[in-house]
Chain A
Amino acid sequence: SQQGEEDPQALSIQEGENATMNCSYKTSINNLQWYRQNSGRGLVHLILIRSNEREKHSGRLRVTLDTSKKSSSLLITASRAADTASYFCATDGGGSNYKLTFGKGTLLTVNP
């Protein structure tokens, strides 16, 4: 079953604009991670935010986490055509194996 749900399912913007993607989840988590996937290839890890953190930055990426609302957002600033990809949030709900539960992803298209 999918735990995280990304919103929107698809997003199309112009180069230089900011892109915001949201993720909601259902159960308590240890951490939440964002991944990028280009054209059905492997997943590239972008950023991990722990349940006791509220905001984290990495380069042009900004991630927020609101555990009371069970939601997270990923902001990509000054987008580039190379940012075109699918973006997934993945939650780690603890237990003995810390399996990642993914949403269906947001397909971001950045037009040059």
Chain B
Amino acid sequence: ETGVTQSPTHLIKTRGQQVTLRCSSQSGHNTVSWYQQALGQGPQFIFQYYREEENGRGNFPPRFSGLQFPNYSSELNVNALELDDSALYLCASSFGASGGTKETQYFGPGTRLLVL
């Protein structure tokens, strides 16, 4: 067990709706990264939060947004859901010293999102 938790575990939404996914980082970690994993693919980096600020973003549109809270937990919000957003969403926590992290990222169990 990594100590990283995510909620909910499964979610079904319809096209056009909005969704919020949550992640609690491992104790002592100040950095949270979010990844999208489509079926049969490796995870793709969405963005990273370090000390409540966005610290890098992958090739995802602005309707993917996030937050990090003072306790370093994080939310991923997706607006105007599309069918292709159906995927496993993973968060990973780590410790960063001065922005970003060179260390191991520990993943949560993921949230499986199905968009109909």
Chain A positions within 8 Å of B, measured between CB atoms, are: 1-2, 4, 30-31, 33, 35, 40-45, 48, 88, 90, 92, 95-105
Contacts and interface: CB of A to CB of B under 8 A. Distances in A.
Nearest to A86: B42
9 contacts: A40-B110, A44-B2, A45-B2, A45-B104, A96-B99, A97-B55, A99-B58, A100-B35, A100-B43
A40 B39 CA distance: 8
Main secondary structure of the interface of B (DSSP, over half): loop
B45 A100 contact: yes
A47 to B, nearest CB: 9
Contact of A42 (B44, B56, B90, B103): B90
B112 interface: yes
Interface of B: 2, 4, 33, 35, 39-45, 48, 50, 55-56, 58-59, 88, 90, 92, 96, 99-110, 112
